[in-house]
Structure formats: C-alpha cells, structure tokens
Structure 1
Amino acid sequence: MARKKPIVSNKSATKQERKPEEKRASNAERSAYFARREAAKVLRSALQGDARRRAVGTIKSLVYSPSVRNKKATFALVCQTLKHLSVIKDVLEESNVLTAKWKKQNELMYIIIYDIFFGQEASLTGDAEKYLTLKKDALQLAMSRILKRKGVKTVKDLVALDKSDLQKPRYVRVNTLKIDTELAIEELRKQYTVQKDDMVPNLLILPPGADLHNHPLVINRSVFLQGKASSMAAVALGPKPGWEVIDACSAPGNKTLHLAALLNGKGKIIACELNKERFMRLKDNVKLAGATNVKAVHGDFLNLDPNDPSNSKVRAILLDPSCSGSGTAFDRLDHLLPSHSADYKDHVDIKRLRNLAGFQKKVLEHAFSFPAVERIVYSTCSIHQIENEDVVQSVLHLASSHGFHLETSFPQWPRRGLPTFDGSQHLLRTDVVEDKEGFFIALFARKGVHQPGDYAREAVSNHVCRKHEIRKPLNVFVAKMLKVWMLPQHAHRRKRKIYSM
C-alpha cells in the first residue's frame, strides 16, 4: 500500500518560502555595526570628561585601549562625528525625533546620524539604525530648514574646518637599544618616505597621516611615536653614559626610554610613577624596549629622600609633571571637543592652572635638594605662562641658593621664553601653529658638584702623580690613608713603604 505524502500547510509553505529570502547582514555591515557601538562608548567617555573638564584619557588613548577591537573604523567615526557634532545636534533639536528611550543613547544617535548624512548609510543595520532611517525624512527636512535659516546651500558650508585640517608630520624616535637607526629607516621606507630630523638624533620624519600604530616596529618598541618637542626634553638634559638619572613623572615612559638610549644602556634611571595603572604600563614598555638600566618605582617622586645614600649619586633629573596639556591639543584631538569650539576658545580654567602650577613648583623645588645633581630639566606640554615662565621665575632664588643657574638648551632654536623676567631668553618654547605642538623646556645646571668618592679618587691620583700637590681640602696624612684604602688587596704589603714617604 503506497504511503501518502505528508500534507504541508500553506502556512508552513509560506514560512519555508520566506526563510531563504530573509536578508542576512554582510561582514561589512556587521563590522560597521560594532564599530558604531565602540565609537559611541569612546564618544561618551570623551564628551563626559570634556564636560567635567576632567578627561579620563585622550581620544586616541580611549580608541587604542585593548577593549576596542576595530580601532581604525572606531577612530575615524569618533573624529568625524566630533567634527560634525554641532550640525548633528542642530538637526536633532530641529527635528525632535528622539523619544526618551533613544535620548539615553545620545552618543550612538550622533554616530548614526553622521553615517546617514556623511558616511556609510548603506550599512545601517541594527535597531537604532532602523529607527533613525524611518525618521530620515524628518531629519532631511530639519537640515533643509537649518540651511535656509543660516543662509547656506550645502551641509559642507555648515562644517567649520579649523586646526583639524592642519597637516602635521609624523615623528618617530628610534629606540637604539633595540635597533640601528639606518635599519629602522630601511624598514619604514618600504611604506613611507623617511627623513632624519636635523636637531634631535635618531628622530625620523614621516608624512602626515602615516598610521604606524600597528606597525611591527612600534608594537615591539623598536620605534616610538613621539613628537619632536617631546623628544627634545631628554636631549636637553644631556645625561652622560654611566650617570644615575631620575625621571620624576615617567609614565608611559617615552622620555624615560629616550634617556635610557642616550645613556647607551649604561648607568641607572630611577623612573617614578604614582598611578598604579600607568606604572604597570611603564613597566611593560621598559621590558619591551629592552631598557635594562631602568628601575621603575611605584611611588611619588616627592617621597624620595635626597639624603638617602641610594640617591647620593643622582646626577640629573627630568621633570615633566602633570600639566594642562594645552600644547598638545592637536595631537590629543582636543580641538574637536565642544569645550574647544569657537564659543569656548577663550575659556581658561585659571583655578586648575594655579593648582597645577603649585604642584609643578613643589616638584622642581624638591629636585634642587639632591646633593649631587648637576642638571635638571623642567618641561611641560603647556602653552600657559602660569605653568611655564611663572613657575621657573618663582624658584630662581631657591635654585641660586643651591648653585643652579638657567642654561640655554638648543641655542639654535628660534623660539625662546616669554620676556617676563631677566634670563627668560634661556628658556625654550615651541609654537602650536608653527611647530604643531606647544612645549616648554627650562634647563637648570650647576658646576663643581662632586660625587661621593670623587675627592678620594682625585687625592690618590694627585698623590701618585704629584706627591707634593695634594688638594688643600685634604692634608697629606689623610691623602696617604685614602691611597691605601683605594689600592687593591695585593698592595697592602706596601703599607709600610707608603707611611715612610
């Protein structure tokens, strides 16, 4: 007996027929979907920090944190949305399309509206995207009213392109502890044109926009993405191989590792960092960079005792303390944030600057108290006089009492300190417009400082070479005793001969 074929209902058939027709998101659409969510999180952190004037991190540091997977797409979305943010906000306010539910996700709405008007509208998948796509007519109508009201014809006329369009070269500092400069140039030239900087050794210049964040040489710390002005600080300090040096405020460690390279891996660098998270990042960078002469210290520089024997041989100190960061706004993309817009460009938080200056003065005064220090560099990435010339001027009397004077660093550099006091011509400034970075360097130096043991070695040397020309601070008997102490063990047989001299 033949089996009857199963009866398929019209309902089931319809369901089966529709299933293959359902559109599945492509890889590009899924990638764009997740990039928008990641960008929204970064944008929220940046805008909240900007509103409180207490940023949790720069836009770049937020994007390049380990939690962000699609860094390139996320970075582009955040930057472009911020550039168009004033227009986007005007459209949302004019159209009034957001319900209470979607207003809680403002940052995601900003990102999606950017894509609707300026970006990848074709890849708009997701509930939030579908909601705004349905409201597209209302958004377009709102945009038309705004254009008419402001007397312009296109959206481009609404977008003010300011410093974000300035082209800044990409500077790369070669870590000579790991790689030869010529070899680094050879590797980088496979992708970019490369030039050597004419002022800072081992600093290379690449074209603007060169994206090296994922380059193998950057990942393994063979090269560092470090601006020219920032690289000038360690060179200005000028430590000699074998010296002991303190980097007082060191994380993430770019200047620390520059000092390590200048010392040729010799001597010792004490790198202080108080913040635990930044300290861990410092330790990782030191390890990857191969800087075996760096001792990372999780602690406050102000707690280092200048009279402790372990600090008695420190010859140089680099001070790059917390500052307003106003000189690196371009690098940090701060100019894209609302507080840096035209309406707020003259806003300066004087109270914050004074607090910063108070701390900066305190660490500089502490540096003067180390007995064997010969050179101190005080640097900031600030454009404000209150953090720069005013801090230096306030400590000049104390510096002089310890034997320090201002010395000119990079004499060939054209831009010097503001003429607020006699001696400001020794200070160095870089300009935000001319140099694409605002930076400040003050170099304090003193001569005639001797390390423990120096007098002993000099006395012995003088006694051996010129028996009757012992330095005045030491009498002849003490000089002879020091000679015995400094001689190797096998020379003890000659003690009697030495005493009879």
Structure 2
Amino acid sequence: MALYGAAAAVLSGLEAHQGSLKTLVYGSRFQNVRQLYALVCETQRYSAVLDSVIRSAGLLQAEKKLKPHLAKVLVYELLLGRGLRGGGRWKPVLSRHKARLQAEFARLKVKRCVSRNEDLLESGPGAGQGAKLPRFVRVNTLKTNLEDAVDYLKREGYVYQGRASGLDELRALQGKRFFLDSLLPELLVFPSGTDFHKHPLYQAGHLILQDKASCLPATLLAPPPGSHVIDACAAPGNKTSHLAALLKNQGKIFAFDLDAGRLATMATLLTRAGVSCCEIANKDFLSVSPSDPRYRQVQYILLDPSCSGSGMVSRQLEEPSAGSSSQERLQALAGFQRRALSHALSFPALQRLVYSTCSVCQEENEDVVRDVLQQIEGTFRLVHVLPPWPERGLSTFPEAEHCLRASPETTLTGGFFVAVLERAGGSSGSEPQALAEEPEPNVAPKKKKKRRRRPLTT
C-alpha cells in the first residue's frame, strides 16, 4: 500500500502545483524512487482514460472514502499495470468493483474503435502528448566500446541495421531491430518502448539511457581529454557522465547542483558509469567565484539551467500545465538563466560554452542568448554547429540560426535548445572532432575464431 499511497500523494502535489514530479518523488522519502516515478508517469499518461472508466463505473460514488488520486493509481494498476500487488484495505474494495471496471474499460475500447491499450492514448483526449519517440541508448565508452556493445546485443537476438540514413527509418523501427544514429557517435536507436532498465549492460553502466537531444550539449562542447570542465547545473548526471566519457576520465569536471537529493542519485549514476574525474558540490553555481584558483584552468562550461521543461514529452505527462507556463514564470526563469549565462562567461580562462535547455519557449532560449551577447559586446560569439541538423534557432536576432532546436516532429526527440558560444579570436569554431564521419563498427564475423571480449565483467 505504501507505493500506491506515495503515488497518490505525488499526483495530488502535481495537481496543486507544489513542485515538479521529480521534486515530489525525491521528497516523498519512498525508498524505490524509480518504481514510484514510473507508476506516477504511467498513471498520468492514462489519466483521461482512467477518469473516464472511474466515472462510468461509478467507483467514487460507491466508495465515498476512496480519494480520487488513490482511485486513479489503483485502477491503473488493476487494468493497465501488473495487477494489485498490495493495496491494503482497498484491495478487497477494488476487487468488488473489478468486473464493472473491466467492463467499462472494454466498452471504452469499443467506443473508440481500438484494440490495444496504447491506442486509447492516440484516439482520446490529449492525443499526441504521449508521442512515441525512439529509445536512444548511449554506449558508455568508459566501460566498453561501440563494437562490443553491438556484438553483445546481436548475440541476444537484436538485429543491427547499421547507420541510420534518415528519420523515416527510425519511425519504422519495430521488434528487436536497431540502428546507429546518423549524426551522433556511440548513440544507438531502438523502437519506442524498448525497456533496458533490467538489461545487464544498463545495470552495469555500459549503456546510458539518454535522449538524442540531451546528448547534444556534451557532444558539441567537445572538451579534449585532460581539460578542466564545469557542469554548472549537473544533476541528474547523464550529461556529466557523457562529458567524462569524452574526457576519457582524463582531466577534471566540477559539477554543481543545489538539489541534494538529486546529487545523491547522480553520485550513484556516476559510480555505475565508471566516472572518476568528477568533483561534485552541493552548491549554487552563481555563488562559485570565477577568481577561485581551483577554476583557473576551466576552458569549457556546460550550462543546462533550470527551465520550464516545456519540451519534455515526459514532463507533459507529469505536469499537464508545463507546456503552457505563465508569462510571469517564464520571465522569472529567463532572469535566472541570463544571470547564470553571464556568470559562466565571466570565467577568465573560458574558451567554449554550451547553453542548453529542455524548453521550447523563445523567452528561455533565443531571448536569453541575445540579451547576454549584447551585454558582453563581442567577447564571445555564436558558433554555427552541426549544419545537417534540420531545426535551427528562431530568427529573432542575427545569427540565431547558429543555434539548434529539437522537437518530436522534426528530430524525433524531446524538445530542446542548444547554443554554442566561443571566445572571440579563439579557435575557428569548426565542428567537434567527435562528430567527424566515423566508420560503422566492425561487427562482421571473423574468419578465425577468437574469443571476443564481452562488455560485461564476470
């Protein structure tokens, strides 16, 4: 019952705008945060469906002591989850209504002319919010390499299709087929819904579950091994682990974040990923002094500040109002983002910076970059990166097209924004070496039988 009660409390907190899903989950003190997070996300995803079934079955009228959020969680688990494994005193109550709930659920499918549960999302209210995106998986080169990871997956029955040539191939992905991404190295693409959470390569840190757009910041920052890097707002740590992989654990990453709970989770993630070059601090980046001798060699900064999250497909499920943030909230966020970007650009040795958000709002993206560039008067300039990328920045100021945007429609990723700034008079701003054309991994069988190194340790 503890899981269902915690999930209901998080749903109630979301409805009351008491915080984001992650904040509420980590603040719940429920031990298995991943299990709680998944249950709340899935319950929210089917929220309209569950409301319809509960209303049609008259559940809340019959059981007046059953709170709506708890009812929604219990009905999700009964009809769409793994069945009620707990439920305490409410389990026999739901059992009494099980036949009626199942009948109303079946009637809803008939009414909407669908046969699969997932099709209810596409036919009902809010269709399109749960857009099905491919599962992107980054190979963690701190623990394995692309060739060995692909070879291991092939031995498990996955069918490797080589480097993808375009988005149409990714849209058509089904079953156990997978591609190498067309642009980003070490990024594999699987069909939507492919679950790696229990896969041994994921659990051992050889694979990182990370959206393609989220891989752009570290890839475009491209710090060479031995560099000193600041990850200004680091938790939950996927981008930090990506930076460490690019550095080959040679150099130093200074990672800051204000949320102690997320930093604790981040520390676990980095340990599993084999990161040894990172120094974590529970600290506000704005309070970090650019004149501190510890940061005198920092030439690279990744700044991914707090934002509205309006581009995150999962955030639309977690917080239905996230896609329509109030103007007051956007301006407050943009003010913080401008301060953070200006502060980052004041580090004396800085040569290259990536500013990114998981927002689609102009106020947090192009407007922030434009305002700060005007303040620094030519000290830094925007770099035109990744020319093949199909979606560019909004034309709100000169050279805004140098920035990148991402969206489910044009890039099959979450909504995202990336700007790369480089000190004027520095390097040429050419494409990072990490994005140079690479040969596909050699996964063809060898003529001579050799014992191949498996990416998992035994």
| Deviation at residue 220 of structure 1 after TM alignment | 2.2
What's the counterpart of residue 102 of structure 1?
66
* 3-state secondary structure, aligned to 1:177: coil
Deviation of 1:310 (Å): 2.1
* Pair 1:248 & 2:224 matched: no
CA contact (8 A) 1:39 1:78 kept: no
Q: In 2, Cα distance between the equivalents of 1:62 and 1:213?
A: 23
Cα drift, residue 171 of structure 1 = 0.6
Q: What is the alpha-carbon distance in structure 2 between the residues aligned to residue 408 and residue 250 of structure 1?
A: 25
2:10–2:40: 8 Å Cα contact kept in structure 1? no
1:183 has 2:148 as partner? yes
Equivalent of 2:398 in 422, 430, 439? 422
> Residue 273 of structure 1 corresponds to which residue in structure 2?
257
Residues 70-114 of structure 1 show CA distances to partners (whole Å, capped at 9, x for unaligned) of: 779957963565251330453366972122x333xx333224445
Could you tell me the TM-score, scaled by structure 1's length? Answer: 0.70
Aligned mate of 2:191, from 200, 204, 207: 207
Distance 1:443 1:415 in 2: 15
Residues of 2 paired with 1:408 and 1:65: CA distance?
Answer: 45
User: What is the distance in 2 between the residues matched to 1:211 and 1:63?
Assistant: 25
Greater length-normalized contact order (CA 8 Å, ≥ 6 residues apart)? 2
Candidates 372, 377, 389, aligned match of 2:354: 377
CA spacing shift, 1:323–1:71, aligned 2, 3 Å: closer
Displacement of 1:433 after TM fit? 2.4
Which residue matches 1:393? 370
Deviation at 1:66, TM superposition (A): 4.2
User: What is the deviation of 1:290?
Assistant: 2.0
State yes or no: 1:406 paired with 2:382: yes
Show the counterpart of 1:44.
9
Larger mean Cα displacement after TM superposition, 58-67 or 317-326: 58-67
Structure 2: how far apart are the matches of 1:122 and 1:265?
A: 45
Q: Which has the higher Rg, Structure 1 or Structure 2?
A: 1
Could you tell me which residue of structure 1 aligns to residue 306 of structure 2? 322
> Partners in 2 of 1:72 and 1:363 — Cα distance?
29
What is the letter of the counterpart of residue 287 of structure 2? N
Q: 1:294 to 1:94 in 2, by over 3 A?
A: closer
- Bigger helix fraction: 1
State whether residues 317 and 373 of structure 1, in contact with CA within 8 Å, keep that contact through their aligned partners in structure 2: yes
Aligned residue number for residue 363 of structure 1? 340
Checking the alignment, whether the CA contact within 8 Å between 1:81 and 1:111 is kept in structure 2 is no
Is the CA contact 1:246–1:316 (under 8 Å) kept in the aligned structure 2? yes
Distance 2:187 2:195 in 1: 17
1:397 Cα shift?
A: 1.7
| Equivalent position of 1:162 in the other structure | 127
Paired with 2:307 and 2:148, the residues of 1 have a C-alpha distance of 36
Q: Structure 1 residue aligned with 2:204, among 220, 233, 247? A: 220
Letter in 2 for 1:382: S
Q: How does 1:110-121 map to 2 (within 5 A)?
A: 110-114=72-76
Does the 8 A contact of 1:270 with 1:295 survive in 2? yes
Q: What fraction of aligned residue pairs are identical, expressed as a percent? A: 36
**Bigger shift: residues 262-271 or 126-135:** 126-135
Partner of 2:316: 335
Corresponding residue of 1:12: none
**Separation in 1, partners of 2:157, 2:188:** 14
Post-superposition offset of 1:423: 1.4
Residue 307 of structure 1: how far off its partner (Å): 1.7
- The letter for the 1-side match of 2:92 is K
Give the structure 2 partner of residue 300 of structure 1: 284
1:139 Cα shift? 7.2
Q: Distance in 1 between matches of 2:13 and 2:188?
A: 36
Q: 1:359 to 1:97 in 2, by over 3 A?
A: same
Structure 1 residues 369 and 222: alpha-carbon distance in aligned structure 2, compared to 1, 3 A threshold: same
CA distance in 2 between counterparts of 1:221 and 1:139 reads 41
**Cα distance in 2, alignment partners of residues 353 and 314 from structure 1:** 30
CA shift, 1:438, in A, is 0.5
Contact 1:244 1:268 survives alignment (8 Å): yes
Q: Is the 8 A contact 1:97 1:135 kept in 2?
A: no
The number of residues matched between the two structures is 399
Corresponding residue for residue 131 of structure 1: 93
What is the TM-score with the length of structure 2 in the denominator?
0.76
Q: SS in structure 1 opposite 2:229? A: strand
Equivalent in the alignment of 2:444: none
Tell me, in whole angstroms, the C-alpha distance in 1 between the residues paired with 2:82 and 2:275. 45
Contact 1:324 1:353 in 2 (8 A): yes
Q: CA deviation at 1:263?
A: 1.6
Q: Could you tell me which residue of structure 2 aligns to residue 431 of structure 1?
A: 407
Alpha-carbon shift at residue 40 of structure 1 (Å): 4.8
SS in structure 2 at match of 1:419: coil
| CA spacing shift, 1:61–1:125, aligned 2, 3 Å | closer
Please give the alpha-carbon distance, in whole angstroms, between the structure 1 residues aligned to 2:215 and 2:128.
23
1:310 counterpart = 2:291: no
- 1:178 and 1:222 in contact (8 A); partners too: yes
- Counterpart of 2:434 in structure 1 is none
Residue in 2 that maps onto 1:289: 273
1:429–1:438 Cα contact (<8 Å) kept: yes
Unaligned runs of 5+ in 1: 1-33, 451-501
Asked if structure 2 preserves the Cα contact closer than 8 Å seen for 1:185 and 1:194, the reply is no
Structure 1 pair 64/280, CA: closer, same or farther in 2 (3 Å)?
closer
Structure 2 counterpart of 1:306, one-letter code: P
* Residue of structure 2 in register with 1:496 after alignment: none
Please, which moves more after superposition, 51-60 or 416-425?
51-60
Q: Determine the C-alpha separation between the residues in 1 that align with 2:43 and 2:73.
A: 8
Give the CA deviation at 1:163.
2.4
Please tell me whether the aligned partners of residues 45 and 317 of structure 2 are also in contact (alpha carbons under 8 angstroms). Answer: no
Q: Is residue 258 from structure 1 mapped to residue 239 from structure 2 by the alignment?
A: no
Residue 421 of structure 2 is matched in structure 1 by: 444
1:353 matched to 2:330: yes
Q: Aligned to 1:249, what secondary structure does the other structure show? A: coil
